[in-house]
Amino acid sequence: MRFYKQQHIHYCGIDLHKKTMYLCIIDEHGEVVLHKNVRTRRPDFMRAVAPYREGLVVGCECMFAWYWLADLCGEHGIDFVLGHALYMRAIYGAKTKNDRQDAYKIAHLLRGGNFPLAYTYPAEWRPTRDLLRRRGYFKRSRAELLTHIQNTVTQYNLPPLRKKLAYKANREGVADHFPDKHVRRSMEADLILLDYYDEVISQLELHLERTAKTHDAHTFYLVKTVPGIGKILGLTLLYEMHSVERFPRVQDFLSYCRLVRPAKTSAGKRTGDTSGKKIGNAHLRWAFSEAIAGLLRDSSEVKRMKARLEKKYGEGRALSILAARLGRSIYHMLRKREAFDMNRFLGQAEMVVAQ
């Protein structure tokens, strides 16, 4: 957990919503100089903070509508920080909770150096990252259509389809497999949507790959030197971490990727289960899980190592260890700007097995 500890003359806490936002500005002595509820409009915000622009820092909780506020502050040279929603316990743990109190607490967290930071993703890359995430949504919707067709075959106890419907060439005549006219119409609708999804996803992937080469072609190339990491996983790693330089330690990178299991301890004793499982980037966690599956498919040495780890820890723990090991390797290779070295990865993983 990182905190914002810089000192300012004025601290502005914002409880941000879709249509309105509550502003609380306090001075360096902790005295409230503004309490105001305004519309979420650029002119309204600038008018409200205009008398307090000198030495002003603005902080809000990380929610879906923070993009415009961060960009507006950047345009006018106002310091902006984003609060980590899951760490802001002072807001959720209070007896009384409303917009006025939330903005007041955010302002005091800023002043006291207790404001938990989330990463303010750069505006230049932000639309591309969101487009990549949208592509993932389309891909999951496409998978639901494929699953619905297969489940319908089972539902009516029909002979199984012999070819994989993921390929467009294998879908011809699939609707005729269903004798009932209403079921057949339902399958035809699924097949039409599948064709549209294939076309849209293909175009999005081509656009994303071209854009990645203009943003950071070298990093995109380096991550694809890992066996099992192709175009989509490479794009996910590039846009979800943005820059490996923002992680001062490899432990910070692994924590952000959800590749470690933090424990709770008190008086030297472990208490309860691990915590913070949902703190971090879920997209990176998925990417490393898929990368390990690809690595196991392409490397017999990694397969043997996984088998040895599995005997000692079980299958789930073995895969987690390999994913964390891969995360370490990718972190160091990106910091050094070097291609992936399988021998170094295997040597480091052998140390884990021996421990």
pLDDT digits 0-9 by tens, 296-351: 998 889 999 999 999 999 999 999 999 999 999 999 999 999 999 888 888 765 55
- The two structure tokens encoding residue 302: 């990694």
pLDDT digits 0-9 by tens, 147-197: 999 999 999 999 999 899 999 999 999 999 999 999 999 999 999 999 999
**Checking DSSP bridges between strand 79-83 and strand 56-61, what pairing results, if any?**
parallel
pLDDT of residue 85: 85
Residue 278 above 90 pLDDT?
no
Closest CA to 150 of 174, 172, 181: 174
pLDDT of residue 132: 97
Left, alpha or beta for 237 (phi > 0: left; psi -120 to 50: alpha)?
alpha
Query: How would CATH label the architecture of 3-118?
Result: 2-Layer Sandwich (3.30)
pLDDT of residue 275: 64
Average pLDDT, the chain: 91
Residue 273 above 70 pLDDT?
no
Residues 269-275 have a mean pLDDT of 68
Q: What percent of the chain has pLDDT over 70?
A: 95
pLDDT of residue 350: 57
pLDDT digits 0-9 by tens, 118-157: 999 999 999 999 999 999 999 999 999 999 999 999 999 9
pLDDT band, residue 262 (cuts 50/70/90): confident
pLDDT of residue 348: 62
